[in-house]
Structure 1
Amino acid sequence: MKSTFIKVAATASAIFMLAGCGGAATSSTSSAGLSTIKSGVLTVGLSPDFPPMEYLDPKTNQLTGADVDLVNEIAKRLNLKVEFTQQKFDQLVNSVKTERVDITFSGMSDTVARQKTVDFVDYFKSVGRFYTLAANKAKYTKATDACGQAVAVSSATDYFPKLQQFSKDTCESAGLPAVNIIPTDSGAAARLQLDQGRATLAIQGAENLVYFAQQDPGKYDMVLPDLTNTPFGAAVKKGNTALADKVRDAFAAMNTDGTTKKILDKYNVGYGLMAPAINGVK
């Protein structure tokens, strides 16, 4: 997608007013966010393999999920249309950096490392969990039970470095065997490792596991303490304060009138409701 570079802050402000959402921007605002908003289209990057946040409905093959509903509601309030771009998760940050998309909604955790490249509008309190096949649940009652075990995790997520740190702090520092980390290219691939017996544990967001429990009751169980407790954030290009502020304000209004909670409850993830914040992880 081509975009016109907009240098003047006043022009940026006028564009947002035309879009039905007045407010000032700064000269550091990303051209991608403003040029597409001027044309009335918000381009959204996502990786639709993370139910119930974003996934392809198995019956219709249409995009659905909590993030999909949330961004559609935000766009409606900003008088914008939404154009979704499906990508692999590990391509999303670069797509924002290179202005191929304006924003991502894809179960992406806000981290200090990612903040060096993009800005986040935090909107959902996510929890990363260990899980296993239900038949093996009794084997994992305390954190050290994961030591020496084969644990599958997507290397594209922040769960991967968190698991490395968990191994050092919980296992290796206590003289126990390190976690045998099996990196994969997605959460679905990590789950497959568990299903096929190549891993005894896997890691996924609790919201994803809630979905599995509905689709395949009794197959998996969450075990051990939380691995992470980090909010999901919608990522925009670094310095695109105009778009970040508008999305944050839209979330705040949706929280106040109950829209966010209604959408999250629709997908059984109402526990993730939180006050929106920009780069809230420090």
Structure 2
Amino acid sequence: MKRLSKISIPVAIAAIGVFTLAGCGTSGSSNNLLSKVESTHTLTIAESAYAPEDFQDPSTKQWTGYDVNILRGFAKSLGANLKIDSMPFSSSIQAVADKRDDLTIDIYYTKKRANVLDFSRPMLNYNDVIAVNSQNPTVTSPTLASLKGKKIAVVVGSAEVKEAQNIPGAIVKQYSTVAESFLALSTGRVNADLQPDTDVAWAKQKNPNLKIKILGAVPSSIAPPISSLRGYYGVPKGSYSTAFLAKLNAYLKQIASNGTEQKILNKYGMTSSVFLKGIASAPNTYSGN
């Protein structure tokens, strides 16, 4: 689950000291990241499998997802091919920090990560929503009053656990995966499910028979502001990445402004305007809370 990785993994990583730099890596022979990519005609991303961001198509075994689509287009703009370096998410940030890979998948900004990475402009909004049973909803409005005392599904270790625990009288049911939580909602074993809207959109795209729908956003009183839940790409920190980052930022702004990114998101069921709201006009540097 991407949300789990984005929020929970860094705590564990920090605890074992993985954020300390471990050397210059194998790419240090190039003057800078942009010249390396342009001379080798290869852009390498540290990749882990989280649908719909980035995953292997089970039928073709090819990597796909909206991150992959976006970065493949960016690589093409530089005259390069996209190369996937598959690894656990917990290893991906260090792989980029050490210049073994060029770019992370989209991740949340944290101060710990900013110690070893520079971040692109934001490329997507994540937003926690309340999903309910589409045929027999027992929660009828996206309010604390309507959620009070209800059975609320979340995924173990995710940020949504804390949100659910802040609902008065809620019975919080924790599941191992998003799929398990959606099945519980679809079969009426819980009243609502708190998840990132990307996961709900993707689940409905893959399985239209799921009896789930988005009721609305998680109440702002228990959820972080959307500006702090944006996805960014990370590159090696420092002047090594400056020219590359300028190219990446220009590309991300262009595709957010001209409709290209929305067309990519549509392929994965992400048709809501919330995903790109304010992205084209957002600053190039982190501006969340």
TM-score (norm 2): 0.68
**Which structure 2 residue ranges, 5 or more long, are not aligned?**
1-23
Equivalent-residue separation in structure 1 for 2:287 and 2:191 (angstroms): 34
Give the share of equivalent positions with the same residue, in percent.
Answer: 21
Q: Deviations over 1:51-90 (max 9, x none)?
A: 2x32332432322222211100001111222111233334
Task: Determine the structure 2 residue equivalent to 1:220.
Answer: 212
Quick one: structure 1 residues 166 and 202, their matched pair in 2 at CA, closer, same or farther if it must change by over 3 Å? closer
The answer to whether the Cα contact below 8 Å between 2:139 and 2:191 also exists between their aligned partners in 1 is no
**Residue identity opposite 2:74 in structure 1:** I
Q: Deviations over 1:94-141 (max 9, x none)?
A: 3333434221224x3334554344333211122222324435532353
User: What are the equivalent positions in structure 2 for 1:1-282 lying under 5 Å apart?
Assistant: 3-5=26-28, 11-12=31-32, 16=34, 19=35, 35=36, 38-51=39-52, 53-106=53-106, 108-112=107-111, 114-121=113-120, 122-135=122-135, 137-139=137-139, 141=141, 142-144=143-145, 145=147, 149-153=151-155, 155=157, 160-161=158-159, 163-164=161-162, 167-168=165-166, 171=167, 176-177=168-169, 180=172, 182=174, 184=176, 187-188=178-179, 190-191=181-182, 201-217=192-208, 218-226=210-218, 227=223, 229=226, 230-239=229-238, 240-270=241-271, 271=273, 272-273=275-276, 274-275=279-280, 277-282=284-289
The answer to whether the Cα contact below 8 Å between 1:112 and 1:281 also exists between their aligned partners in 2 is no
**Residue identity opposite 1:247 in structure 2:** L
Q: How many residues align?
A: 247
Q: Deviations over 1:19-70 (max 9, x none)?
A: 5xxxxxxxxxxxxxxx55543321112333322x323324323222222111
SS at match of 2:245: helix
**Which structure 1 residue ranges, 5 or more long, are not aligned?**
20-34
SS at match of 1:110: coil
Q: Aligned-residue CA RMSD in angstroms?
A: 3.5
TM-score (norm 1): 0.69
Equivalent-residue separation in structure 2 for 1:91 and 1:194 (angstroms): 33
